[in-house]
Structures are given as C-alpha cells and as structure tokens.
Amino acid sequence: MAFMFFSLPVFWFAVLLKHYAAIQFNDWIAKADFPPGMIATIAIVGAFIISAIVGGTWKRRLITFAALAAALTIVFVYFDLVTWFRRPAIGLPVYILLVLGIAALMIAMTSGFKNKGVRNAVVGTAIVGIVGYAVLRGFLMTKPGILLLFGLFGVAIIAGALCGGFLGGFSRRQAIFASVITSILASVAALIDLLLSNWAAYLKVQPRPIPTIGSATANFSTTWWGHNIDTLTHIFLPTIALMLVSLASYTRYTRASMLEVLNQDYIRTARSKGISERKVITRHALRNSLIPLATIVAFDFAGLIGGAVITETVFGWQGMGTMFREGLLAVDPNRVMAFFVVTGSAAVVMNMLADIAYAFLDPRISR
C-alpha cells in the first residue's frame, strides 16, 4: 500500500477520491445499506490487514484473522440493520469501553501491565476522563464553544500529567507520557462522539454531505455543530489526499531506519538482558529510528503550509499555493513575496522544532 500511494500522481489520486469518496459515497448514504458482498469484502480485507499488523506465528495470525472477520461481520450487519451511518452515535456506554480500551492499549505499548505505577496512572486518567465527560456531555451538546472545547482539552492534559506525576511512582516520567497520551485520545473520542451525535441533524439539511469543491457551503444556516461538521466534510478529501501520499513515504523511511537500528549493539544488549520484544521495539528501537523521520516531517509540514498547488486546484481551495500561482500569473510581487515570507518562516520554525525533537528522541544529543 505504501508503494502504491507513493507512486500515485497526486492529481489522479485526488480525482479518484472525488469520485469514490464523495460522489459515490453521497449516492450510497441515501440508504446506507450494506449488501452481503460488501460486508464479506470489508470483513476479509480488514481482518487480513489487522492480523498482518499484529503478527506472530501462523497459528496466531489465523486465529486473529478468523476472530476479526467474525467480529467485523457482526458489526457491519448491525450497521446495516440500524442504518448506523445515517444516525451514528457512540453514546456514553460505548465511550466508556473505548476509553478503557485506549488505556489498556497505552499500558501494553509503554510499560506492560506489571508496572504498577504506569498502570495506576493511566487507569486513573481514564476514570477522570470518563467521569468528566459524563458530567459535561449534555452541556456540550446544548452550549458548545471553541474556547470551551480548547479549555477542556487543556484541563484534560493537565489532569493526565497530574495523574502520571502522583501515581507513577518510580516510573513517573513514563507514566506522565502514557497518561497525557491517554487523555488526548480520550478527548478526541469525546469530540467524535459529539460530532456523530449531530450527524443525523446535519444530513437533514445537507443530504449529500461530502463536498467535492470549496472550503465551506455558501449561505449555509445550521447549528454550531452543523457548521463544524460542514467544515470538516469540506477539508476531509484534501486532507486524505495529502496524508496518504505523505504517509506512504514516511512508512518507507521508518522501515529503513528500523532495519538499521535493529542491528545495533544496544538492541542486542537489551535482548540479552531478557527485555521483552515489545519493549525492545517500542522503547529502544523505534525511538531512535524516528530521528531521520523528524527531519522529513519538518520539511513536509513547512511545504504544506506553503501550499499544495495541485491539491488546492483539484478541490477548489484558496490556499497559499493558489495565491502563489495567481500572483505569478498576474505578475504581482506582493503576493509572491508574501508566499516566500510565510514558507521561509515555516521552514525555519519547523527545522527548529525538529532539532528540539532530536534531543527528546535521543537524550545523548542534549548532552
């Protein structure tokens, strides 16, 4: 998949997204039904991809594949029966299970369940997030606001850091990291639940929800959540187009860097000490292998701020790339110089952040 996305021309990929992810999806969402063939395809492909990611012996992969295929089949049969995509909602019970799953995943990926400090900190963060969202969910549905959401997001991060600091014990630093990531993911899950709860009302006023051009629907009158959903649907296709093309190159660089790091002496030393393979990969190898990737991401992010001319042209966005192109065609030095000022500043700032990230990823650099 990485090779395919990396080799696809951006223009062609963007046009394919407009056809399949917008036009055909808008036709399908009118009924939102899943034929048996579609359910079987989704179950088989999804189970195959996830079982390949999980890895292990062939017996383990087959068991994982069978279990996931059965689970995905049941889920999409349920989606078909209740037309979930027209009236989607997570709800508080599913949100609780989702946050607990996020907490379990963070514990498994960082220290393992035997580390009492990290385990207690992450679980405490999850409980605080669940209780806080249960109390505030009704208020956020009726009286939302961008400042309120950002304020609550900051409170969630602080709460995660405090839980990690007070409950982390000797693994305080690792507990703070795991707890903060848990609070961020729980906040994102809460925002998704709020958006999905307002999706049905949005479909009533916008029956074809995924637009193919522009950054907002003109003269669109709806609720605060409806306007935010409208903005997200407009930015969905350009984001997917840019993200998949960039992600393809990132996976190749990460793989090459991981293969080099895994042959280092300190990796063999860690394995000889009896450290589990999961900790060797996540705590020792992956962290150092991200150093080359940090440089590439910094340059790419600065380039995105500078504008993506092809993507903006296909999706009708008025961004920096469009301004630069129009400035060149009109021989307007003011717009061209403004473009270079923004892109140059972005390049300097992102490279500075990349240097700071080097010290975080490899403490030897900061010494």
Q: Compute the distance between CA of residue 250 and CA of residue 228 in angstroms, rounded to an integer.
A: 30
In a domain, residue 38? The reply is yes
User: Which pLDDT belongs to residue 162?
Assistant: 94
94-98 own/partner pairs: CB under 8 Å, 24+ apart: 95/130, 95/133, 95/189, 95/190, 95/193, 96/130, 98/189
CB 355 within 8 A of CB 252: no
User: Which pLDDT belongs to residue 306?
Assistant: 63
In a domain, residue 52? The reply is yes
Q: Report which residue type is found at 63.
A: I
Longest CA pairwise span in the chain (Å): 66
Is pLDDT above 80 for 35? yes
In a domain, residue 59? The reply is yes
Residue 272, both tokens: 């000889």
- What is the extent of the structural domain holding 45? 34-82
In a domain, residue 182? The reply is no
Q: What is the DSSP string of 254-295?
A: HHHHHHHHTTSHHHHHHHHTT--HHHIIIIIIHHHHHHHHHH
Q: What is the DSSP letter of 32?
A: -
In a domain, residue 56? The reply is yes
User: What is the per-residue pLDDT across 241-294, written as a single tens digit (0 to 9) for each?
Assistant: 888 877 778 888 888 888 888 888 888 888 888 887 777 887 788 888 888 888
In a domain, residue 339? The reply is no
User: Which pLDDT belongs to residue 352?
Assistant: 87
Q: Compute the distance between CA of residue 104 and CA of residue 96 in angstroms, rounded to an integer.
A: 12
Radius of gyration of the chain (CA): 23
Residue 129 banded pLDDT, cuts 50, 70, 90 = very high
In a domain, residue 61? The reply is yes
User: Which pLDDT belongs to residue 278?
Assistant: 73
In 148-165, which positions are buried (b, 16+ CB within 10 angstroms) versus exposed (e)?
ebeebbeebbebbbbbbe
In a domain, residue 47? The reply is yes
User: Which pLDDT belongs to residue 367?
Assistant: 65
Number of domains the chain contains:
1
Length of the chain: 367
Q: Is 27 exposed, middle or buried (0-12, 13-18, 19+ CB in 10 A)?
A: exposed
Residue 360, both tokens: 């975080």
Q: Is 4 exposed, middle or buried (0-12, 13-18, 19+ CB in 10 A)?
A: exposed
Q: Compute the distance between CA of residue 312 and CA of residue 213 in angstroms, rounded to an integer.
A: 9
Give me the mean pLDDT over the 28-40 stretch: 92
3-class state of residue 223 by DSSP: coil
